[in-house]
Each structure stands twice: as C-alpha cells, then as structure tokens.
C-alpha cells in the first residue's frame, strides 16, 4: 500500500518520508518539481494514476511573520488551491486515508493557554498571519465535510512550531528558529561583534523537532479517527530571548545581541494542549537542546 507525501522535499514532508522508509513502508514523496499542485488537472491525473492508500498533505506555502504579513494573497490563495486540489483528487481516486496538516496559527490571537482543540473559531486571529490561518481553517472544514458527506476516514493534525533539517533558512521569510540559527552561525563565521534580532524577545513559543512530528503523524494515521483536528506539541515553551541564548551558546557566538523593536514579534504566547495525542501513546523524544544542536550542525554542513 503506497503512502503519498505531498511536499516531500520540505521540512515536514522529508521527515515523514524518512520515517516511513525507516519503517519499510512504501512511500512516494513529491514536490512542486514532480507535480504542480496548483494545477488542478495535473493533480487529479497524478493521484488517479498512482491510487495511493493514503495521502499526507505536507505541501503548503509557508513562511515567517514577515512574509505572511507582506504576501497575504499568496498565502491564502495558494494554500486553498493546494489543499482543495489534493482532497478533491483523493476523493475521486477513492483514497482511503488523508492527513491534512495545519498550524497552531489557526487559533485566536488572545486564546486561553494551553490551547485546546475546542478553542478554534472562538476569537479574532493574529492579523500578521490571518490569511494563512484562514486557509488552514478552511482545510480543516473540508476534511470535516468530506467525513460528513462521504464517510471518509480523513483527519486533520495541527502541529506547533517546527524545526529541523531541510528547514527554510532565508532571513526574510523563514520561521523564528531557522532564522536565529542562520543569524548566529553566520555571525560566528564572520566574527561579527553584534547581532540584531526581530522584536523584543519576550514572546513565548513552543517548539517540536520535525522528526518527532513525523512519528506523531503515523500514530494519528493508525489510531486517530475523528472529525475534530488534533494538536501535536511538545508541551514546553521558551521565550525567544532564552532561545537566542541557547543558540548563541551552541554556535559559539559571544558578541552582543540587540533587539529591533521596529520589527514584529508576533503574538505574546502560544502553547498547545496536546493531551489527546499523548493519550494515543505518543510523546516527543528529542529535547530542545539536542534538537537545536543537530539542526545547527545540519545547517553548518549543508548551507
């Protein structure tokens, strides 16, 4: 039985492909170089020919606070197209299982913490990435609709902030973890006396290594069957300033750290309640220190 991983060359998709191969599963990972998922006809044709047992949708237009805030049309439009093309094609090809991957940004800006699945649509979204969030919320609703109308055993999984190998380390459109890693590694290489980081550093974030997420997704594929989405997080949080200290220590940077208050910090806190997946038997195995250490090493060797 073939499992198709859409977005198979990206941060999340490549981790899922690695884990499936480790388990000796038949897996095919595709990227935009293989199939343009924005092209509805080509997406339908590819899924129809392959007829996979399951599709894991890790394909999306993603980015950090800056790019989300600057290009809302692309983040909304392209993500809506990718996910609806994939789901509609999967339905036509009678794909048994489908895992839609979202993001913790689907939850309201001023959400009670830790965030339970029930808190979806209970308040206003964070405006800097609301377009991306709306696209992901639409994906959750389409999964629920396919379950309701056609009885599909399709599910939605909402991971927290992710990091690891194959991440996007571009300084203008990456997420906070890879951006910090690149800045500190580059500053160390260049013997820079100081480094400038975005925001105030006081925001709290939860992080999960992408290899832990890959294992969680396969647990959900096997054990989870519910119309409501399920959170996947580490259960731990850290301030961006403390995260910067960790990365500075691991990269050997000893210069001065400055904070640019004219740059956005995003929401002040986002910690997810992952009780449901913990009850399924999954727990993260990679500590934040170990995860950062291996990701720094990967960036140094590959970038």
> What does the buried/exposed string (b/e) look like for 70-81 if buried means 16 or more CB atoms within 10 Å of the residue's CB?
ebbeebbebbbb
Peptide bond into 114 cis (omega under 30): yes
Q: For position 232, what pLDDT does the model report?
A: 98
The mean-pLDDT minimum among 44-48, 110-114, 247-251, 260-264 falls in: 260-264
Residue identified by tokens 């975005």 is 198
- DSSP-assigned states of every residue in the chain: --EEEETTTSHHHHHHHHHHHHTT--EEEE-TTT--TT-HHHHHHHHHHH--SEEEE-------HHHHHH-HHHHHHHHHHHHHHHHHHHHHTT-SEEEEE--GGGS-TT--SSBPGGGTTSSPPPGGGHHHHHHHHHHHHHHHHHHHHH----EEEEE-EEE-TT----TTTS-HHHHHHHHHHHHHHTT-SEEEEES-S--EE-EEEHHHHHHHHHHHHHH---SS-EEE--S--EEHHHHHHHHHHHHT--SEEEEETTS----SEE-B--HHHHHTT----S-HHHHHHHHHHHHHHH-
List pLDDT tens digits, range 165-195.
Answer: 999 998 877 888 999 999 999 999 999 999 9
Q: How far is CA 134 from CA 62, 161, 188, 229, in A?
A: 13, 17, 39, 15
Between CA 86 and CA 43 the distance in angstroms is 7
| Model confidence band, residue 264 (pLDDT cutoffs 50, 70, 90) | low
pTM: 0.94
Q: For position 172, what pLDDT does the model report?
A: 76
Instruction: State yes or no: pLDDT of 201 exceeds 80.
Output: yes
Cα-based torsion angle of the residue sequence 133, 135, 137, 139 in order, rounded to the nearest 10 degrees = -150
List pLDDT tens digits, range 25-77.
Answer: 999 999 999 999 999 999 999 999 999 999 999 999 987 777 888 889 999 99
Instruction: Tell me the two tokens of residue 184.
Output: 């500190």
Task: Give catalytic residue positions.
Answer: 132
Structural domains of the chain, with CATH: 3-166+206-236+269-287 (3.40.50.720)
For the beta carbon of residue 112, count every other beta carbon within 10 angstroms. 12
Which whole number is the average pLDDT over 6-29? Answer: 97
Q: For position 272, what pLDDT does the model report?
A: 96
Average pLDDT, the chain: 95
Strand pairing of 204-205 and 238-239? antiparallel
């Amino acid at each position: 039985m073939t499992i198709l991983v859409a977005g198979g060359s990206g941060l999340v998709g490549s981790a899922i492909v690695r884990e499936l191969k480790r388990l000796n599963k038949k897996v095919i990972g595709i990227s935009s170089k293989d199939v343009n998922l924005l092209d509805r006809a080509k997406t339908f044709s590819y899924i129809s020919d392959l007829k996979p047992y399951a599709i894991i949708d890790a394909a999306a237009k993603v980015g950090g606070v800056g790019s989300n805030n600057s290009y809302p049309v692309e983040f909304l439009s392209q993500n809506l197209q990718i996910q609806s093309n994939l789901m509609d094609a999967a339905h036509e090809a009678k794909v048994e299982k489908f895992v839609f991957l979202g993001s913790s940004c689907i939850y309201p800006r001023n959400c009670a913490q830790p965030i339970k699945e029930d808190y979806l649509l209970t308040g206003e979204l964070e405006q800097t990435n609301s377009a991306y969030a709306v696209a992901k919320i639409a994906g959750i609703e389409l999964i629920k609709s396919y379950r309701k109308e056609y009885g599909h055993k399709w599910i939605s999984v909402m991971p927290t902030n992710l990091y690891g190998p194959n991440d996007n380390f571009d300084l203008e459109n990456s997420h906070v973890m890879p951006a910090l890693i690149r800045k500190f590694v580059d500053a160390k290489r260049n013997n820079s006396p100081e480094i400038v980081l975005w925001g105030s550093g006081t925001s709290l974030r939860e992080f999960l290594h992408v290899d832990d997420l890959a294992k969680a997704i396969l647990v959900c594929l096997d054990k989870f069957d519910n119309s409501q989405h399920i959170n996947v997080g580490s259960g731990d949080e850290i301030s961006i300033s403390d995260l910067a200290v960790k990365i500075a220590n691991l990269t050997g940077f000893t210069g001065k750290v400055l904070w640019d208050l004219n740059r956005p910090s995003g929401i002040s806190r986002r910690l997810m309640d992952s009780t449901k997946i913990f009850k399924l038997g999954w727990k993260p195995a990679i500590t934040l220190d170990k995860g950062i250490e291996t990701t720094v090493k990967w960036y140094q060797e590959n970038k």
